[in-house]
């Protein structure tokens, strides 16, 4: 019998408890049981230990947070780079590299989407306003549920199926973005959602049970927003199916 409430890891630092509580509430609203834990330095040095740590869960959320240090994708920092956190980078990057080869369902949000792209060998646009100017406002910090712009989602994609729509409005709190390679791909990921200015807003891995990433913040929208709730419920259902295997 599959677990009625699959166990979901929200992978973030202990010091970010208040920020991460929004994610745990969204998981609970969608029918999951969220656990917030961190991958300590001794554990993340060996892949087998990371796999053991992740094996206790039916799904993983890679949440938002600070900018990723550009040295992880072979660049020096631009003046516009925001705060980075070496501990956060190291722990989440180690986990992400394992998750890319693991069948556990993953939902990656904002920084989480960027993290997966970097872990897969891709790079980032360090600062959209200076490197890709656009009339679209991608960094509207308050209120957190403000619908800043629309995204267009590829018909037939998993993200479109979960969202129940091919175009809808999202909130937006980022000044960086995934830098794709020719062919609308980043490693194993396909770009399946974009803002009107072409900025990647969603991606998913081909052939994976559930490896979906979005650039917006559905955790702030899940109460009263059909697309956000559909995304979280789809993730929880995939985790429930994983727990039954």
pLDDT digits (tens, 9 = 90+) for 169-224: 999 999 999 998 766 678 899 999 999 999 999 999 988 999 999 999 999 999 99
Average pLDDT of span 126-154: 97
Segments in 36-85 forming alpha helices (H): 47-54
Q: Report the CATH number that the domain containing residue 221 is assigned in CATH.
A: 3.40.50.880
pLDDT of residue 2: 47
Count of all residues that appear for the chain in the document:
245
pTM of the shown model: 0.95
Residue 230 counted as domain residue: yes
Residue 2 counted as domain residue: no
Q: How many domains does the chain have?
A: 1
Is pLDDT above 50 for 99?
yes
Q: Are 202 and 214 in contact (CB under 8 A)?
A: yes
Nearest-10 Cα torsion for 180, 186, 191, 196: -10
HSE value, Cβ hemisphere, 13 Å, CA-based, for 9? 23
Can you tell me the distance from the alpha carbon of 113 to that of 97, in angstroms, rounded to the nearest whole number?
A: 13
Residue 41 counted as domain residue: yes
Binned at pLDDT 50, 70 and 90, residue 1 comes out as very low
Which of 46-60, 137-151, 182-196 is predicted least confidently? 182-196
Residue 179 counted as domain residue: yes
Residue 1 counted as domain residue: no
pLDDT of residue 186: 86
Q: Are 243 and 58 in contact (CB under 8 A)?
A: yes
Residue 196 lies in domain: 7-243
Residue 221 counted as domain residue: yes
Residue 49 counted as domain residue: yes
Q: Quick check: helix, strand or coil at residue 115?
A: helix
Q: Quick check: helix, strand or coil at residue 182?
A: coil
């Amino acid at each position: 019998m599959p677990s009625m409430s699959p166990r979901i890891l929200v992978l973030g630092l202990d010091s970010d408890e208040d920020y991460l509580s929004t994610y745990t509430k969204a998981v609970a609203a969608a029918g999951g049981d969220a656990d917030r834990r961190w991958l300590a330095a001794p554990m993340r040095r060996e892949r087998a230990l990371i796999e053991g740590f992740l094996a206790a869960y039916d799904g993983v959320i890679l949440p938002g947070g600070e900018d990723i240090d550009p040295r992880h994708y072979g660049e020096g920092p631009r003046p516009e780079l925001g705060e980075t956190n070496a501990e956060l980078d190291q722990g989440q990057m180690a986990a992400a590299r394992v998750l890319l080869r693991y069948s556990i369902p993953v939902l990656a949000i904002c920084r989480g989407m960027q993290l997966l792209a970097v872990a897969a060998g891709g790079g980032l646009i360090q600062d959209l306003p200076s490197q890709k100017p656009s009339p679209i406002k991608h960094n509207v910090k308050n209120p957190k549920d403000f619908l800043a712009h629309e995204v267009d989602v590829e018909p037939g994609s998993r993200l479109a199926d979960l969202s129940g729509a091919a175009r809808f409005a999202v909130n937006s709190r980022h000044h960086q973005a995934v830098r794709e390679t020719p062919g609308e791909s980043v490693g194993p990921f396909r770009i399946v959602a974009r803002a009107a200015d072409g900025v990647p807003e969603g991606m998913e891995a081909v052939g994976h049970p559930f490896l979906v990433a979005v650039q917006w913040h559905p955790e702030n929208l899940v109460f009263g927003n059909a697309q956000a709730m559909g995304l979280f419920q789809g993730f929880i259902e995939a985790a429930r199916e994983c727990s039954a295997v």
